[in-house]
Amino acid sequence: MTASTAPKDQDQQLQKLRELVKKIDYCMLTTLDDDGSLRSRPMSSNGEIEANGGLWFFTYGDSHKVVEAEHHQVNVSFSAPDRQSYVSLSGQAELVRDRSKMQELWKPELKAWFPKELDEPDIALLKVNVEKAEYWDAPAGWVAKTIGFVKAVTTGEKAKSGENVKLTLQ
């Protein structure tokens, strides 16, 4: 299903997207390396996603992923197989060194990666300005999956995989 152009539908779909992302802490950030190969690494969004779908990640400003991210489009993918929820976001990334934004987004668990917290040398934010999003959300319970599978087998129809929505955000 592709997002409708009706604002109400898109607002509801964006809200659903935000709810899915908030429930999945870790994601994979994929960038394009200098040699043209794709590189993915796990990142934590700390359940933060802006109303417009924008994502923020704490990082070290001089890390290679920042160089890769700032020069090409990036993809951020979230996966929760236990809930049958999947999200893929793509857009442009930028390095942000706004101290007040870092204070706003800081959470104590980030100390595992940034021992000196906001006093960590070269600490920064990587903001992903999401342009396109897609999500898949299906019933997660084994009963719902089993009923869907049995129905598909007995009727000869393709099993329904749940909701699939594509959004253009910018």
Q: 37 to each of 23, 40, 73, 108, 132, how far by Cα in Å?
A: 30, 10, 13, 34, 21
What is d(CA 169, CA 52) in angstroms, rounded to the nearest whole number?
7
Task: Check residue 3 and give its pLDDT.
Answer: 43
Task: Check residue 9 and give its pLDDT.
Answer: 87
Does the structure show a pLDDT above 60 at 74? Answer: yes
pLDDT category, 48, cuts 50, 70, 90? confident
pLDDT category, 59, cuts 50, 70, 90? very high
Does the structure show a pLDDT above 60 at 41? Answer: yes
pLDDT category, 55, cuts 50, 70, 90? very high
Residue type present at position 9: D
H/E stretch holding 104 reads helix 99-105
Contact between residue 161 and residue 129 where contact means Cβ atoms under 8 Å apart: no
Chain-centroid distance of CA 48 in Å reads: 10
What is d(CA 141, CA 80) in angstroms, rounded to the nearest whole number?
13
Q: Which pTM was predicted?
A: 0.80
Q: Which of 37-41, 50-54, 96-100 has the lowest mean pLDDT?
A: 50-54
pLDDT digits over 79-125, tens only?
999 889 999 999 999 999 999 999 999 999 999 999 999 999 999 99
What is d(CA 163, CA 90) in angstroms, rounded to the nearest whole number?
19
Nearest to 54 by CA among 136, 135, 133: 133
Residues pairing with 17 in the sheet: none
- The CATH architecture of the domain made up of 7-168 is Roll (2.30)
Using DSSP's 3-state secondary structure scheme, residue 166 falls into strand
pLDDT category, 133, cuts 50, 70, 90? very high
Using DSSP's 3-state secondary structure scheme, residue 74 falls into strand
